[in-house]
Each structure stands twice: as structure tokens, then as C-alpha cells.
């Protein structure tokens, strides 16, 4: 049995410092693709409009008393989808994006949760059946993994990088106009920002490759552009962020700590800590034992807790949570009550049961 003091911790509100927005409790729904957008492979231009179930699903999450709802992947370029059936935010579409997104955002916020949709560009992690010519930091091709094959990528030009930065900023502004409290930038799981940060993928010799400062430039410029476009601290910028990519020669925790500080200084107010890529899918939250040198923790505890709490130690302002593997309320309570992290993120448990939060909070 938990002590009452510890139980109360998960139910405590927490304030996002820059925006002053209050999160009603310490549990959040991490970004998890809903696959509730229209899709027709022969008509990609007409795909990605939210289906009615998109709002209904977010209403069910809100009714479960969750503190933050991050919508899953929303690709910002319809020619480069990470998969079929997600809602797309691209200025090149025939419907009104603000009107289309508003019902789901209103539904997510209907019970006091903060709503932070995730905006995404997959880079080379585009299934070959959707696009044979992806874009990435360099031309390093992803080997077949997760049951899919991937085309050889073309390195982004500097103009291409600026185009993507503009798209991220446009998507954030559109979501702000549709009522979102902020966004989560997907900078994990092997997507585009990981492909720039990782020295084993990024072989560039210009100002976007080489030193860590250069490899982090695209991500930092994107955060800056979102800030400029949404023009107020009231709009929350969150980042889903890897502790490691669990690939030899890839992102290391030491480098990620430095990037974490740069992001916090740039105005990121919420971090969802995760890890891995498509080729090393530790993000699925399973035991880490398949990654040499990373012993697994107890079953039911967040698998990235050991790194998230180190980020929390060096953080001066942001709210820090971690997703992956949380299944046991006692572990969640213990980590939050000890101040190791601020929040716990949930993916699949809420997919199966949107009332899971209620069950936890009601002890």
C-alpha cells in the first residue's frame, strides 16, 4: 500500500513556468499515432483530414482525467509521411486546417487537460512503399527494420532545411489558432532531428554537420522559428527527446545533456524523455536487456527513468516527464514523490483503456 502523501503526488498540479499554464496532475498521454486521418495512397493531396473519430478519441482521453494530451505524429509535409492515416498539417491542402483541427483540440481540453499536438518530419524513416526518395541529413540509408524497407535518402539542401523550418513554424501557428496550448516537436525515435544529431547518420560538412553545435542547429533554429511565429511564451514548446539512440556511434547521453540545456535555454518548457530509433526501438518501452551495457530495471517502472532523472537534475525550469514501460502506479508515485521527474507519460495503456489515469489517481 502506498502512503497517502505519496498517492497525493500524482494528483498534484504542476505549472509550466514560461506559459504559466497549470497541468492538473502528473500523468500525460504521450504522442501515439491515432491513425484517424483520411488516407488514399492514390490521392495523397486529399489525405490527412481528421475523421470524426479523431475528436471522439481525444474526448475519451480527456474524460479519463489525464493532465496533458499530446496528439500523435502530425506530419508537416504530405510528400514525406512516416506512415499512412495520420492527420497531416501542410499548407497545401484543400480544407481549412484550423477548422479541421479545432474539434479534436477542444475535445482534448474539455476536462482541464493541456493539449500539445506533436509535429513531425520523418526524414529517412519513410516506408519505401510510400516514398522511395526520402530526405535526410546525409545519404545514409536505413536498413530494413520494423517490417519495412526504406529508400536511399537525398541530403537536404540548406533551402530544404529552411523550407522544413518554415513548415514546422506554420504548423505550430495553425495549431495555436486552432486552440492548442502548444506543440511537441518530435526530436526522437530516429526522425529527422535525430538524423541530424547522430554522428553516424549526419555526415555533412556544412554548418549543419560536424560539431555538436552544428548537428543541433536545425533543431534549435526550428524552436526559434516556432517561438517567433507564435510570438508569446504563452504557447508551450515541448520536445520529445532521446536520452540515447542505443546505436553504436550514434547519439550519446552526454551529448544529449548538452542539447537538452540548449533547448531549455531556447524556451522549451516540457520534455518527454524516450530513447531509440526504428533500428533500435527501445522507445517501445520494453526491457533494455537487448542493448548491451543497458541492464533492465524493474518491470512496470519507466525504462528511461534513470536518464530522465539526470536531465531533471540539470534542468533549471522545464517540466520533465518520461514515457515507456510505466505500468505500476507504485513506481510512478515513487519517482514523482522523490522529485526524480515531474510527470509520467503513458502510451499503450491509454490506447487500451482511456480511463487508466482515473484508476491510478483514484488509487
324 touches ligand FMN (CB under 6 A)? yes
| Nearer residue to ligand FMN within complex by CB, 209 or 321 | 321
Task: Name residues contacting ligand FMN, limited to 77-106 (CB under 6 A).
Answer: none
| Nearer residue to ligand FMN within complex by CB, 233 or 330 | 330
Backbone conformation region of residue 258, classed left if phi is above 0, alpha if psi is from -120 to 50, else beta: alpha
118 touches ligand FMN (CB under 6 A)? yes
Nearest distance, CB of residue 206 and ligand FMN, angstroms: 28
Nearest distance, CB of residue 271 and ligand FMN, angstroms: 12
Determine how many CB atoms are found less than 10 A away from the CB of residue 174: 23
Backbone conformation region of residue 220, classed left if phi is above 0, alpha if psi is from -120 to 50, else beta: alpha
- Each residue 17-36 as x (binds ligand FMN by CB under 6 A) or -, in order, gives -------------xxxx---
Q: Which of residues 48, 50, 103, 325 is near ligand FMN by CB under 6 A?
A: 325
Query: Which residue among the candidates 28, 150, 191, 208 is catalytic per the annotation?
Result: 191
**What backbone phi and psi angles, to 5 degrees, belong to 280?**
-140, 70
73 touches ligand FMN (CB under 6 A)? yes
Nearest distance, CB of residue 101 and ligand FMN, angstroms: 16
Q: Which of residues 202, 222, 274, 280 is near ligand FMN by CB under 6 A?
A: 274
- Each residue 333-352 as x (binds ligand FMN by CB under 6 A) or -, in order, gives -------------xxxx---
Q: What angle do CA 177, 179, 182 make, to 5 degrees?
A: 90
Nearest distance, CB of residue 149 and ligand FMN, angstroms: 19
Q: How many residues sit close enough to ligand FMN to count as binding (CB under 6 A)?
A: 22
| H runs (alpha helix) in the chain | 4-10, 52-63, 97-109, 158-177, 192-197, 212-230, 253-266, 305-314, 329-337, 348-352, 356-361
CB under 8 Å to 335, separation ≥6 — which residues?
Answer: 301, 302, 305, 309, 341, 344
**What backbone phi and psi angles, to 5 degrees, belong to 110?**
-65, -15
End-to-end CA distance of the chain: 10
Q: Which of residues 64, 67, 182, 285 is near ligand FMN by CB under 6 A?
A: 285
Angle, helices 52-63/97-109, rounded to nearest 10 degrees: 20
291 is catalytic: no
Nearest distance, CB of residue 349 and ligand FMN, angstroms: 6
| Nearer residue to ligand FMN within complex by CB, 33 or 194 | 33
- Each residue 210-249 as x (binds ligand FMN by CB under 6 A) or -, in order, gives ------------------------------x---------
Q: Measuring CA to CA, which residue among 124, 150, 118 is closest to residue 137? A: 124
| Nearer residue to ligand FMN within complex by CB, 32 or 55 | 32
323 touches ligand FMN (CB under 6 A)? yes
283 touches ligand FMN (CB under 6 A)? yes
Q: How far is CA 221 from CA 25, 201, 250, 267, in A?
A: 31, 20, 22, 12
- Rounded to an integer, what distance in angstroms lies between the CA atom of residue 327 and that of residue 108? 23
330 CA to centre of own chain: 25
Q: Which of residues 58, 77, 124, 186 is near ligand FMN by CB under 6 A?
A: 186
Nearest distance, CB of residue 273 and ligand FMN, angstroms: 10
Q: Measuring CA to CA, which residue among 304, 312, 204 is closest to residue 245? A: 304
**SS3 assignment, position 322:** strand
Catalytic residues: 191
Task: Give residues in contact with ligand FMN (CB under 6 A).
Answer: 30-33, 72-73, 118, 186, 189, 240, 274, 283-285, 323-326, 346-349
Amino acid at each position: 500500500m502506498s502512503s497517502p502523501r505519496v498517492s497525493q503526488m500524482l494528483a498534484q498540479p504542476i505549472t509550466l513556468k514560461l506559459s504559466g499554464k497549470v497541468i492538473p496532475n502528473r500523468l500525460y498521454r504521450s504522442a501515439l499515432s491515432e491513425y484517424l486521418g483520411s488516407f488514399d495512397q492514390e490521392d495523397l493531396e486529399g489525405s490527412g483530414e481528421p475523421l470524426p473519430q479523431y475528436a471522439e478519441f481525444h474526448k475519451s482521453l480527456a474524460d479519463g482525467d489525464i493532465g496533458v494530451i499530446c496528439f500523435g505524429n502530425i506530419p508537416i509535409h504530405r510528400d514525406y509521411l512516416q506512415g499512412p492515416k495520420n492527420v497531416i498539417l501542410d499548407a497545401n491542402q484543400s480544407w481549412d486546417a484550423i477548422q479541421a483541427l479545432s474539434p479534436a483540440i477542444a475535445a482534448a481540453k474539455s476536462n482541464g487537460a493541456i493539449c500539445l499536438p506533436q509535429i513531425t518530419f520523418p526524414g529517412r524513416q519513410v516506408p519505401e512503399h510510400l516514398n522511395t526518395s526520402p530526405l535526410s541529413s546525409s545519404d545514409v540509408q536505413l536498413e530494413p527494420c520494423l517490417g519495412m524497407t526504406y529508400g536511399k535518402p537525398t541530403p537536404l539542401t540548406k533551402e530544404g532545411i529552411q523550407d522544413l523550418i518554415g513548415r514546422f513554424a506554420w504548423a505550430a501557428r495553425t495549431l495555436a489558432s486552432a486552440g492548442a496550448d502548444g506543440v511537441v516537436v518530435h526530436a526522437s525515435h530516429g526522425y529527422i532531428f535525430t538524423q541530424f544529431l547522430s554522428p553516424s547518420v549526419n555526415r555533412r560538412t556544412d554548418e549543419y554537420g560536424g560539431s555538436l553545435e552544428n548537428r543541433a542547429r536545425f533543431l534549435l533554429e526550428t524552436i526559434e522559428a516556432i517561438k517567433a511565429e507564435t510570438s508569446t511564451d504563452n504557447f508551450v514548446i515541448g520536445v520529445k527527446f532521446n536520452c540515447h539512440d542505443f546505436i553504436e556511434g550514434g547519439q550519446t547521453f552526454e551529448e544529449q545533456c548538452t542539447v537538452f540545456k540548449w533547448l531549455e535555454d531556447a524556451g522549451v518548457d516540457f520534455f518527454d524523455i524516450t530513447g531509440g530509433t526504428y533500428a533500435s526501438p527501445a522507445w517501445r518501452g520494453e526491457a533494455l536487456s537487448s542493448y548491451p551495457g543497458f541492464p533492465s530495471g524493474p518491470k512496470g517502472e519507466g525504462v528511461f527513468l534513470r536518464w530522465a532523472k539526470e536531465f531533471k537534475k540539470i534542468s533549471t525550469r522545464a517540466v520533465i516527464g518520461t514515457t515507456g514501460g510505466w505500468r505500476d502506479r507504485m513506481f510512478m508515485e515513487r519517482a514523482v514523490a522523490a522529485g526524480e521527474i515531474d510527470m509520467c507519460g503513458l502510451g499503450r495503456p491509454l490506447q487500451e483503456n482511456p480511463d487508466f489515469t482515473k484508476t491510478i489517481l483514484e488509487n
